[in-house]
Amino acid sequence: MSRRGRSGGPSAFNWGSVVLGLAFLYGPIVLLVIYSFNASRLVTVWGGVSIRWYAALARDSQMLDAVWVTLRVGLVSATAATVLGTLAAVTLARSARFPGRTLLAGMIYAPLVMPEVILGLSLLLLFVALDLPRGFWTVTVSHATVTLCYATVVIQARLASFDLSLEEAAQDLGCTPVGAFVKVTLPTIAPAVAAAWMLAFTLSLDDLVIASFTSGPGATTLPMRLYSQVRLGVNPEINAVSTLLIAVVSLGVVAAALIQRRRTA
Amino acid sequence: MRRPWRAALAPYLWLLLFFALPFALVAKLSLSHTVLAMPPYAPQLDLSRGLGGVSAFVRQLSVETYGRLASDRLYLAAYLSSVRLAGLATAILLAIGYPIAYGMSRFAAGARQVLLMAVILPFWTSFLIRIYAWIAILKPAGLLNQALGTLRLGPLDLLNTDSAVIIGLVYAYLPFMVLPIYAVLERQDASLIEAAEDLGCTPTIAFWRVTFPLSLPGVAAGALLCFIPMVGEFVIPDLLGGSQTLMLGRTIWTEFFADRDWPAASAVAVVLLATLIAPILLFQRQQAKVLS
């Protein structure tokens, strides 16, 4: 198939828009990383190369505590979201009709675009009404609620190309419904489940607004800590944390993409 | 399986408890009046009194908070400016996102994969950090003005203005505009363009008559995916905007955390949601169509 046939490859205009677009996307991030190695306290004045802000970071116990809280919230909430999301996605993909399908689908798609302030406020009101003390668990439950919707969409997209009759065949051959799911469906959608978990984990790691509403004393997450610092002004230590965070996430994403490519190749 | 939907019982109940019920609470609180500025709010639902309790509760609900919102200029200004800034940013995003998506779709398959990942990658890095990066660029003695200074161009005072908010919105949401448009363009059958050109269209006319109309579903998805959350955006107006930048997301935050006026925060949330319900339903219909 001569897909790009006559018009040939990308034109100068195509090159220009892609290069400028990527420069716009990456420029600010690159500057932020460069200035994390700045010796000067003034973030925007270059004072030579130094790793003093990384050293300062290692001594900042409040920041390290926040990192620890964030990782725990992310691990627990992403796991819960992936389990719930898999169940929801399988049901939505498998049965075109069942009682309340529209409601379930609505509750899954709505949070994807809903402003975070509304989600945060409404969850907080729930926790207040239930008289639950705010802290680690309230943030975790809130993150699981929002990220389960993303997890469902990712897994549902993969299930769209999955032949459900395979599962029926397994059941005809004597598998229980749960057995057929575990032995046939789950291995097939495993890459999507892993991708859903990673997405849920990253979203939880990144969330400021919902955590601010639903968290309490002793459960300050990294974005909450960063936000209170940023409000005081730019500070090279924030650049250092950000650089580390960007490095970890980029390595994870690139590694995941390479693994998936090797599997499909 | 006779009742396959039983598997969905757990997510179903979870979402009812943590998504639907909280909304009912927001709606209820927006119709309540403040008692001493902190919970509990009157009226309270007393289920032990049976139906009498319910009707007493309903009779006591008041639209007083909404009246307060309508009569206060500040809320109206915040509402209009949210919609205006989000609309403007969506238009700019379309103008720069489309050429990027189109450019990407013209590359060979291998290069397209790399470009796709390059556009997605920033989405995985923290939103807060990416907005923070712009403070150092836009502030008065920041990197942009240093660069302009070496070119002998006047300093631009952008930080804490609506322009900075627009820049932040466009920057943060660009991948959400590029990806849906790219997804449509990438799947497009190139032979359609060849046919148009064989029938005498110039490449430009072929683009406007064939490629662009066929990519409109992607354009619509991208515009909705950006516009809806941008109207309620909090972080960007808070960090890049000035004290005069009013947006609804920020108003809810301030009412809640600074003024401790929970009924007002809830009422603003209900108004915001009412504004977004039509675009959200539109987006849902499209998602359902794509996924099924």
State the pLDDT at residue B192: 85
State the pLDDT at residue A56: 84
User: What number of other Cβ atoms are within 10 A of residue A208's Cβ?
Assistant: 24
State the pLDDT at residue A26: 93
Smallest Cα distance from B284 to chain A, Å: 6
Crossing angle of helices A222-231 and B127-138, in 10° steps, is 20
| Mean predicted confidence (pLDDT) in B71-76 | 81
DSSP states of A99-130: TTHHHHHHHHHHHHHS-HHHHHHHHHHHHHHT
Give φ, ψ of B42 to 5 degrees: -90, 150
pLDDT greater at residue B195 or residue B48: B195
State the pLDDT at residue A112: 83
Share of chain B above pLDDT 90, in %: 22
A interface mutation test: which of B14, B114, B226 has the most A CBs within 10 A? B14
Smallest Cα distance from A213 to chain B, Å: 9
- Residue labelled with tokens 């009924």: B263
- Rounded distance between C-alpha atoms, residue B169 and residue B182, angstroms: 20
| Mean predicted confidence (pLDDT) in A109-120 | 86
State the pLDDT at residue B165: 94
Q: A257, B118 in Cβ contact below 8 A?
A: no
Among A72-76, A97-101, B51-55, B127-131, where is mean pLDDT lowest?
B51-55
Determine the 3-state secondary structure of B88 from DSSP: helix
Pairwise CB contact (< 8 Å): A21 & B178: yes
| Mean predicted confidence (pLDDT) in A84-96 | 86
Which amino acid appears at position A161 of this protein? S
Among A32-41, B31-40, B186-195, where is mean pLDDT lowest?
B31-40
Smallest Cα distance from B71 to chain A, Å: 23
State the pLDDT at residue B219: 93
Pairwise CB contact (< 8 Å): B103 & A245: no
pLDDT greater at residue B173 or residue A54: B173
Q: Which pLDDT band holds residue B32 (cuts at 50, 70, 90)?
A: confident
- CA B141 vs CA B130, B137, B155, B215: distances in Å: 19, 9, 9, 42
- Rounded distance between C-alpha atoms, residue B6 and residue A262, angstroms: 36
Nearest to B7 among A15, A87, A238 (CB): A87
Tokens of A239: 């650049």
pLDDT tens profile A187-215: 888 888 988 998 899 889 889 999 999 99
Q: Regarding the domain with residue range A60-264, which homologous superfamily does it belong to in the CATH classification?
A: MetI-like (1.10.3720.10)
Q: B133, A34 in Cβ contact below 8 A?
A: no
- Rounded distance between C-alpha atoms, residue B1 and residue A135, angstroms: 41
**Residue ranges covered by each domain of chain B:** 83-291
Instruction: Enter the pTM of the model.
Output: 0.85
- Residue labelled with tokens 């220009």: A16
Q: A214, A124 in Cβ contact below 8 A?
A: yes
State yes or no: pLDDT of A120 exceeds 90: yes
pLDDT tens profile A131-174: 889 999 999 999 999 999 999 988 988 888 777 788 888 888 88
State the pLDDT at residue B52: 66
- Rounded distance between C-alpha atoms, residue B291 and residue B279, angstroms: 18
Query: Which of B2, B270, B110, B38 shows the shortest CA–CA distance to A122?
Result: B270
On chain A, the residues whose CB falls within 8 A of the CB of B120 are: 253
ipTM above 0.85, yes or no: no
Q: Regarding the domain with residue range B83-291, which homologous superfamily does it belong to in the CATH classification?
A: MetI-like (1.10.3720.10)
State the pLDDT at residue B39: 55
State the pLDDT at residue A264: 60
- Residue labelled with tokens 């990658």: B121
On chain B, the residues whose CB falls within 8 A of the CB of A15 are: 103
Which amino acid appears at position B124 of this protein? W
Smallest Cα distance from A176 to chain B, Å: 9
- Rounded distance between C-alpha atoms, residue A205 and residue A199, angstroms: 10
Tokens of A203: 């979203």
B207 reaches A (C-beta below 8 A): no
On chain A, the residues whose CB falls within 8 A of the CB of B119 are: 21-22, 25
State the pLDDT at residue A7: 53
The per-residue pLDDT of chain B, averaged, comes to 83
B124 reaches A (C-beta below 8 A): yes
Nearest to A107 among B19, B248, B272 (CB): B19
Q: Which pLDDT band holds residue A72 (cuts at 50, 70, 90)?
A: very high
Nearest to B129 among A15, A156, A245 (CB): A245
What phi-psi label fits residue B160: left (phi over 0), alpha (psi between -120 and 50 degrees) or beta?
left
| Mean predicted confidence (pLDDT) in B10-35 | 84
Smallest Cα distance from A23 to chain B, Å: 11
Q: A189, A160 in Cβ contact below 8 A?
A: no
- Rounded distance between C-alpha atoms, residue A158 and residue A149, angstroms: 15
State yes or no: pLDDT of B47 exceeds 70: no
Q: Which distant-in-sequence residues (6+ apart) come within 8 Å of B252 by Cβ? A: A117, A118, A121, B232, B234, B265, B268, B269, B272
- Rounded distance between C-alpha atoms, residue A243 and residue B52, angstroms: 60
Pairwise CB contact (< 8 Å): A126 & B22: yes
The per-residue pLDDT of chain A, averaged, comes to 85
State the pLDDT at residue B37: 47
Which B residues, 74 through 93, put their C-beta within 8 Å of a C-beta on chain A?
Answer: none
Among A76-80, B222-226, B248-252, where is mean pLDDT lowest?
B248-252
Q: A120, A214 in Cβ contact below 8 A?
A: yes
Give strand pairing partners of B42.
B33
* Highest mean pLDDT: which range of A128-142, B5-19, B64-78: A128-142
| Mean predicted confidence (pLDDT) in B237-241 | 90
State yes or no: pLDDT of B222 exceeds 70: yes
State the pLDDT at residue A185: 84
State the pLDDT at residue A246: 87
What phi-psi label fits residue B142: left (phi over 0), alpha (psi between -120 and 50 degrees) or beta?
beta
Pairwise CB contact (< 8 Å): A246 & B129: yes
Q: Which residue of A has its CA nearest to B188?
A: A3
State yes or no: pLDDT of A224 exceeds 70: yes
pLDDT tens profile A24-69: 999 999 998 888 888 877 767 777 788 888 888 888 888 889 999 9
Nearest to B143 among A2, A20, A44 (CB): A44
Which amino acid appears at position A152 of this protein? T
- Please tell me what DSSP assigns to residue A133: P
User: What number of other Cβ atoms are within 10 A of residue A10's Cβ?
Assistant: 20
Tokens of B236: 């960007």
- Rounded distance between C-alpha atoms, residue A116 and residue A204, angstroms: 12
Smallest Cα distance from A96 to chain B, Å: 9
pLDDT tens profile B80-131: 999 999 999 999 999 999 999 999 998 988 889 889 988 988 888 888 888 9
Q: Which residue of B has its CA nearest to A152?
A: B11
On chain B, the residues whose CB falls within 8 A of the CB of A230 are: 128, 132, 135, 239
State the pLDDT at residue A213: 92
pLDDT tens profile B159-169: 888 899 999 99
pLDDT greater at residue B24 or residue A259: B24
B205 reaches A (C-beta below 8 A): no
Pairwise CB contact (< 8 Å): B287 & A153: yes
Give φ, ψ of A49 to 5 degrees: -85, 135
On chain A, the residues whose CB falls within 8 A of the CB of B136 are: 31-32, 35, 43-44, 234
Tokens of B23: 């909304």
Alpha-carbon dihedral B273, B274, B278, B283, rounded to 10 degrees: 10
Q: Which residue of A has its CA nearest to B8?
A: A88
Smallest Cα distance from A123 to chain B, Å: 6
- Rounded distance between C-alpha atoms, residue A115 and residue A224, angstroms: 18
| Mean predicted confidence (pLDDT) in B9-25 | 89
Q: A140, A73 in Cβ contact below 8 A?
A: yes
CA angle, A163 as apex, A157 and A165 as ends, to 5°? 140
